[in-house]
Structures are given as structure tokens and as C-alpha cells.
Amino acid sequence: MSSHPPRTARRTAGVLLATVTALLAAGVPAATAATPAPAPKPSQPTPQPKPSPSTSETGRSQPKPSQSAPAADPAPKPSEPPAPVPDPHATAAVLDLDAGGDSPVVHGPDRAYDTASIVKVDILATLLLQAQDAHRSLTDEERGHAEPMIRRSDNASADALWREIGRAPGLEAANKRLGLTSTTGGSGGRWGLTRTTATDQIRLLRAVFDDTAPSALTPASRSYIRTLMGEVLPEQSWGVSAVDASGAGAKLKNGWLERSATRLWDVNSVGAVTVDGHRCLVAVLSDGSASMDAGVSLVERTAREAVS
């Protein structure tokens, strides 16, 4: 066998020797050339500034969140019971015209109540008294207000006549002549907040219905008021009519008003009725009812108890 290396090995060694010689001539160390360069690292993304926690999307300054642990919710307070609603109150006054007396029997405290729409009888009496003083009859326009005001309790008509009579001062001046002593007109345009007592309402009813009692109203004026009070709409004929079993029908005027501050109701009824063949004047005033229906029931129950 030959001791010389194979021809391929001699050729490879020659190539490597020539390469090293060329690199040394260029000034590059042989160790560097023999070691492959490391692969470049991937580039990292440039960090972006974080938005400030003290500014909202709208640009308004917002408080920084607390770094402490959130406080526990306070223990719930025991629920307080709702404020008690006071009991409603009612007062009735009854005068038997056929018994010969002139002082009513009063059931309950004879204190002042809001009139609501029962004051419309007083407004009409004042209008008629002022027309009498001027020696004239009511105009067509005045009748056009007076009749719906009583028959169907029209408030716009009451507003017009309240202004015409001079509001509270005009009402109070007429009431002195009609014998009322405890009625105060509502302020401004608030005729429904006129204050009165059950006894004073009997005084007004006597001026209208008691032909034996002196009255500043003429017989014609009295008759006009009586007629209208006998023509109240059926749906408004509750109240003191509950005690009238004559079949002739009561002559009455009712009033109802929900107070905005308390959401409780003033409910009243005044009129002339027949009880066991006797002509009676009955006034029932109430306040503090939870609803109008409750107030109507209270008024009718109080009227029945007052005449029994």
C-alpha cells in the first residue's frame, strides 16, 4: 500500500492553506475568520409613555386611585319606620229649622278648616249682595259663571267671580253683613284656601234657607242660590245628602281638595236636607283623609252620626 495521503485530502489542505495566507495578508487574525459571527438578536419595541392616571379621556382632572385597600362598607342602619299619618278630623254642625232654635248642635271641635269648593256658595252670595247694592240683576256673563260654578263646581268660573267680588276683602265685607264671624278669605287667587268653621257655614246657610231669619239677601237672591244648589250634578251629590231620606233631594254644595304638601285631602259638604220630616241645615268639614273616597266616607258617616 502507498504511504502518501489520498489526492482529495492533499487538494483540500492546499485550499485551506491558500485561504489562510490570503487573510493574513489582509490583516485579519486566523482565529476570527475561523469562528462564525453570532446571529443578531431581534430588536425590542420602543417603550411608549403610559397615560397619566390623573387625566380622563375628556381631559378633566380626576383623583388618583388610592393605593390602600378599600374600606369596608359601613354596617347598614336599621330602617326607620315611616312617619305616622295623623288621623283625619271632622266637625259637623246641625240646625233643625223646624225646632225653633237658632244655634246649631256641633259635633267635634269647632275649629277652622279649608273650605275648598264649598266657598263657591259664599262667592255667589257676595256677588248677589253686591249686585243688590248696585240695584241691578246679574248680567248674562255673571250668570254664565255662577251657574256652572255651583252646578258642576267649575273652577274657572269661580276664578272669574272671585276677581269680580274683590277676592278676600270683598268676601269678608259681605260676610259681616251675612252674619259670619269666623271665615277668612284665601290669599290672592286661592279662594279654595278660605278658612271657615262648621258653625259659620250654618250662619251662611241660614242666610240662604231660613226665611224666618233676617238676611241681607233678598228673597230673589235666596231663591237663586237654592235653585242652583238643588241642581248639582249627580256625581257631586254625595255628602250631607246621605242623611236625606225624603226623596226630594238635598240642596247642597261639596268641596274637595288634595293638599300638595301632605297629599292629604280636605273634603266638605254643606246644605239643606230633610231628616224625619224636619228641615235641617247641615255642615260637615274635614281634613287629613288619605284619599278623596276616604274623605267622602268620613263626611257621610259624620253627618249620619250628627243627625241620629
Q: What is the pLDDT at residue 82?
A: 65
Pairwise CA distance, residues 174 & 170, whole Å: 6
Going from N- to C-terminal start, the domains of the chain cover 89-307
Q: What is the pLDDT at residue 76?
A: 53
Q: What is the pLDDT at residue 121?
A: 99
Cβ contacts of residue 287 below 8 Å, gap of 6+?
88, 89, 113, 114, 264, 265, 266, 267
Can you list the alpha helix ranges (DSSP code H) found in the chain? 7-26, 30-34, 119-133, 140-151, 155-164, 167-178, 198-209, 219-229, 292-307
Cα torsion angle, 148, 150, 155, 160, sign: positive
Grid cell at residue 16: 485551506
Pairwise CA distance, residues 53 & 33, whole Å: 55
Residues 138-147 as b or e (16 or more Cβ within 10 Å = b): beeebeebbb
Q: What is the pLDDT at residue 248?
A: 72
272 close to 279: Cβ distance less than 8 angstroms: yes
Q: What is the pLDDT at residue 124?
A: 99
Coil vs helix vs strand at 86 = coil
Q: What is the pLDDT at residue 196?
A: 98
Q: What is the pLDDT at residue 71?
A: 46
Which residues in the chain show pLDDT less than 50? 1-73
Q: The domain 89-307: what is its CATH number?
A: 3.40.710.10
Q: What is the pLDDT at residue 108?
A: 98
